[in-house]
Amino acid sequence: MTEEHSLSIVRACQVARLSRAAYYKPEIDWNERDHAVIAALQGVVAQEQRWGFWKCHDRLRAQGYGWNHKRLWRVYCQLRLNLPRRTKRRVPQRVRQPLAVEPRINAVWAIDFMYDTLYSGRVFRTLNVLDEANRGALGIAVSIPARRVIAFLTQMIELHGRPDAIRCDNGTELTSQAFTDWCREQEIELRFIQPGKPDQNAYIERFNRTYRDEVLSAYLFNALDEVREITAEWLPRYNEIRPHDALGSLPPARYAERLLAAETPA
């Protein structure tokens, strides 16, 4: 403007109603200045495409970043993340997990949810926990809410010891940030099966069939307390009395004793 109209800088600033301090202020490269913020936000959104601003903000705070919400919101809007994002529902990519059994107690636990209904039609579910080494049922939680999954598994660890790994499917409770963070803190490896491949978790699926045949399909339940009572009575029979074909017709408890004896040095 100064060269085109042959105006001095003072006069040009007066015409444009711009302070000379603003005129002489060097231009800020926001991309360079906010490079770390952009990278952090994009990293969160790449993993959690359906999260909104405050979920991203809280996650970054949990990761130790100290940026205030105003700066994050400015960058969030500059990246156009505040606009509706078209995301396609997709199943997570998983590596096929081998089913080879390590003959050691607490090497790998298998967990899975089952669904059934009471006589009234109310739907309930159970969380089943199995030790793959001896096919022993470590516990069954009846009508367990999502927020109680970690607490129930913590109780199982207190009773039976900590597993090296957990094999599970891709259910929302088991792929949640809280559950994966808990497993990382406990130094437990998560072995997710491939979506649509329940045969990769065959041991717990076989147990589920037995539990359904001998308990869920054998009774008409009027209340959840009845399910818990009969399940609690059935578990010791399954672990200590019922022969298991894959274990040489031994019940899981007896087979576990054999494994422990083999681990004990002479």
Burial of 17 (0-12, 13-18, 19+ CB in 10 A): exposed
Q: Strands across the sheet with 189-192, in order?
A: 136-142, 123-131, 108-117, 165-168, 189-192
User: Tokens at residue 165, please?
Assistant: 């790994």
User: Tokens at residue 70, please?
Assistant: 């105003």
User: Tokens at residue 86, please?
Assistant: 């078209």
What is the per-residue pLDDT for 3? 61
pTM for the full predicted model = 0.65
Tell me the mean pLDDT per 10 residues along the chain, length 266: 69 79 71 86 84 90 91 90 69 67 90 94 95 94 90 95 94 90 94 88 94 93 95 95 89 89 70
Listed in sequence order, the residues at least 6 apart from 201 whose beta carbon sits closer than 8 Å to its beta carbon are 110, 112, 167, 168, 169, 193
What is the per-residue pLDDT for 30? 65
Rounded CA separation 183/157 (Å): 12
What is the per-residue pLDDT for 25? 73
What is the per-residue pLDDT for 87? 58
For 258, which DSSP code?
Answer: H
Rounded CA separation 211/139 (Å): 12
Half-sphere exposure of 112 (CA within 13 A, CB side): 23
What is the per-residue pLDDT for 118? 94
Tell me how far CA of residue 114 lies from CA of 124, 208, 225, 243, in angstroms.
Answer: 8, 7, 17, 23
User: Which domains are seen in the chain, by residue range?
Assistant: 9-78 (no CATH), 108-263 (3.30.420.10)
Q: Are 152 and 94 in contact (CB under 8 A)?
A: no
Collapse the DSSP code of 239 into the 3-class scheme (helix H, G, I; strand E, B; otherwise coil) and give the result. helix
Q: Are 138 and 109 in contact (CB under 8 A)?
A: yes
